[in-house]
């Protein structure tokens, strides 16, 4: 256990040193929020994937598969399709639009595209992102607390505080540049964990004469079915509930879209697409396999918290020195996503609301320090949420995914591909998506069909209706000036 603790602490020190060293390259707000568009595509792809995954994948999803069985694969399929779609069809468009409009954030892009409604769009999008993303950040910190409790029996509160310090320090020092390069290291470590652990787990299963199929059958009839033992309409509900993660990947997650906006050219975008696709296939195959292996190794009801399955398996199956490295990879996922999300919240508040919507004039140096102070503030708020919330990581991420990703995705898609989309339509999309998510998760409807599915289509519906009812007066001018790709 001392070896594991040493490797854990060494990892935290290395990441912090990298963040401090790269802080010297940050000279202005564009460097802090987008890295000055100087980063290679393969590094941005590793960063995008590490940012897109988190405690949710390593702790939440593996625990979900353990309690669901084979039907849990539809979550992985929905996410994988969404990731590949976004890289193939949206990444280059984000890159070109950023170059054309010189924007630093997704809300700023929407505001500039619909200039007569710019201020209200910035306010609404900024408040939506900062208000809901902070719960996402809290979920990551809660995941860190669970990991450290399971590994070292470190009190949950102490684990959350330790993780918060590392998260704030890496984001505070180097901003986007620091986050991307530490992401790359963390992304590789995550991949080693997700590929290596199931291989070792299935070797353990074979040598101990355990049966995967028998274990699935003993866990319950629904565990051994790709559709959870359901028939008819219920299959459709299960499919949409699990596959619906797809809709949040269609441009609506600002922490992911920032990586697309930071791409330098098409060659780098193509390289990023290849890296992200391979990473996604390996990572989700591995995470699903870990959940299935856990069903074979442990009885249902063995865990007070199923989201501690992965660190439990690592400690059981690995020698201490390897366990320390792999558990550092799990912590990497949490830190990676949390510091990227803190940067998104920071950009929404400092760039979109304070600088643009409120029109407060600040120098580049003042903006930079305002962003860094905001990183520390929102990191502490996320820590408090983690300490007072008893919700599962999987659920919190799901709700935030609906509220942000499935609200902004239709707004981005219609801005890219529908010439009649209007400023009033954007406003209607954001308001209806936010309200739909809050109302839906507050009722039993969430248990029937997930808000990740309904929010996307409700937001799109109101965006279309209000765009047709209240078209932009300068729509012809806007379309004539628009570069078609």
| pLDDT tens for each residue of 294-311 | 999 998 888 877 878 888
H or E stretch covering 346: helix 320-347
Residue 481's pLDDT is: 44
User: Considering the entire predicted model, what is its pTM?
Assistant: 0.79
Q: Is residue 399 in some structural domain? A: no
Report CA 450 to chain centroid distance, whole Å.
18
* Alpha-carbon gap, residue 226 to 229, rounded angstroms: 8
Going by C-alpha positions, the residue among 243, 244, 241 that lies closest to residue 445 is 241
Q: Is residue 267 in some structural domain? A: yes
Residue 483's pLDDT is: 40
* Alpha-carbon gap, residue 106 to 302, rounded angstroms: 44
Q: What is the mean pLDDT of residues 109-132?
A: 88
| pLDDT tens for each residue of 53-84 | 776 788 888 988 998 899 889 889 988 999 99
Q: Is residue 329 in some structural domain? A: yes
Residue 402 has pLDDT above 80, yes or no: yes
* Alpha-carbon gap, residue 75 to 175, rounded angstroms: 31
H and E: helices and strands count for the chain: 23, 0
Residue 30's pLDDT is: 53
Report the CATH number at residue 104: 1.20.1730.10
* Alpha-carbon gap, residue 208 to 297, rounded angstroms: 10
Q: What is the mean pLDDT of residues 105-111?
A: 89
Residue 412's pLDDT is: 95
Q: Which residue has the tokens 């993660």?
A: 245
Report CA 112 to chain centroid distance, whole Å.
25
Residue 256's pLDDT is: 87
| pLDDT tens for each residue of 128-181 | 888 888 877 887 788 777 777 777 777 878 888 887 887 777 666 555 676 777
- Structural domain span for residue 270: 2-393
**Alpha helices, DSSP H, located in 262-319:** 266-297, 309-317
Q: What is the mean pLDDT of residues 226-234?
A: 65
Q: Is residue 429 in some structural domain? A: no
| pLDDT tens for each residue of 262-286 | 898 899 999 999 999 999 999 999 9
Give backbone dihedrals phi and psi of 297, rounded to 5 degrees, phi first.
Answer: -85, -30
* Alpha-carbon gap, residue 26 to 28, rounded angstroms: 6
| pLDDT tens for each residue of 458-476 | 999 999 999 999 998 764 4
Total domains, the chain: 1
pLDDT band, very low/low/confident/very high, at 340 (cuts 50, 70, 90): confident
Q: What is the mean pLDDT of residues 361-365?
A: 74
Residue 32's pLDDT is: 55
Residue 172's pLDDT is: 62
| pLDDT tens for each residue of 403-442 | 898 999 999 999 999 999 999 999 999 999 999 999 998 8
* Alpha-carbon gap, residue 296 to 252, rounded angstroms: 37
Q: Is residue 205 in some structural domain? A: yes
Going by C-alpha positions, the residue among 411, 467, 414, 359 that lies closest to residue 125 is 411
* Alpha-carbon gap, residue 140 to 384, rounded angstroms: 12
H or E stretch covering 247: none
**Higher-confidence residue: 18 or 305?**
305
Residue 391's pLDDT is: 55
Q: Is residue 85 in some structural domain? A: yes
CB burial of residue 220 (10 Å; 0-12, 13-18, 19+): middle
Q: Is residue 69 in some structural domain? A: yes
Maximum distance among all Cα pairs of the chain, rounded to whole angstroms: 71
Q: Is residue 239 in some structural domain? A: yes
Percent of the chain with pLDDT over 70: 85
DSSP string, 413-481: HHHHH-TT--HHHHHHHHHHHHHHHHHHHTSTHHHHS-HHHHHHHHHHHHHHHHHHHS--TTHHHHHHH
């Amino acid at each position: 256990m001392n070896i594991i603790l040493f490797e854990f602490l060494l990892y935290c020190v290395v990441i912090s040193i990298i963040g401090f060293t790269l802080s010297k390259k940050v000279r202005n707000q564009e460097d802090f929020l987008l890295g000055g568009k100087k980063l290679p595509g393969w590094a941005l792809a590793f960063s995008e994937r590490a940012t897109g995954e988190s405690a949710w994948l390593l702790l939440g999803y593996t625990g979900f598969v353990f309690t669901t069985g084979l039907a849990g694969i539809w979550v992985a399929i929905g996410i994988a399709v969404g990731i590949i779609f976004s890289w193939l069809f949206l990444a280059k468009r984000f890159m070109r639009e950023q170059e054309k409009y010189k924007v630093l954030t997704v809300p700023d892009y929407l505001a500039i595209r619909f200039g007569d409604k710019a201020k209200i769009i910035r306010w609404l999008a900024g408040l939506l992102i900062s208000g809901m993303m902070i719960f996402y950040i809290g979920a990551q910190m809660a995941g860190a607390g669970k990991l450290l409790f399971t590994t070292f029996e470190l009190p949950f509160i102490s684990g959350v505080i330790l993780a918060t310090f590392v998260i704030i320090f890496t984001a505070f020092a180097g901003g986007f540049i620091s986050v991307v390069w530490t992401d790359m290291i963390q992304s590789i470590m995550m991949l080693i964990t997700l590929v290596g652990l199931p291989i070792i787990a299935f070797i353990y299963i074979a040598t101990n004469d355990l049966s995967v199929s028998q274990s699935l059958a003993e866990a319950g009839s629904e565990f051994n079915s790709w559709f959870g033992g359901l028939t008819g309409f219920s299959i459709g509900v299960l499919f949409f509930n699990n596959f619906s993660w797809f809709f949040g990947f269609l441009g609506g997650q600002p922490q992911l879209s920032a990586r697309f906006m930071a791409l330098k050219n098409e060659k780098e975008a193509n390289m990023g697409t290849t890296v992200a696709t391979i990473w996604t296939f390996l990572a989700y195959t591995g995470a699903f396999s870990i959940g299935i292996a856990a069903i074979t190794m442990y009885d249902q009801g063995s865990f007070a918290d199923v989201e501690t399955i992965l660190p439990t398996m690592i400690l059981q199956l690995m020698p201490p020195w390897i366990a320390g490295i792999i558990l550092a990879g799990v912590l990497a996922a949490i830190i990676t996503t949390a510091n990227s999300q803190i940067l998104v919240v920071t950009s929404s508040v400092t760039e979109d609301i304070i600088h643009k919507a409120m029109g407060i004039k600040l120098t580049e140096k003042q903006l930079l320090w305002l962003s860094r102070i905001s990183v520390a503030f929102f990191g502490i708020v996320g820590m408090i949420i983690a300490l007072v919330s008893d919700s599962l990581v999987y659920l919190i991420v799901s709700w935030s995914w609906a509220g942000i990703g499935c609200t902004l995705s239709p707004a981005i898609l219609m801005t890219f591909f529908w010439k009649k989309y209007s400023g009033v339509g954007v406003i209607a999309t954001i308001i209806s998506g936010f309200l739909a998510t809050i109302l839906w998760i507050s009722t039993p409807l969430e248990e029937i069909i997930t808000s990740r599915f309904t929010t996307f289509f409700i937001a799109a519906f109101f965006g279309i209706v209000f765009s047709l009812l209240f078209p932009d007066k300068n729509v012809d001018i806007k379309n004539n000036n628009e570069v078609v790709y």
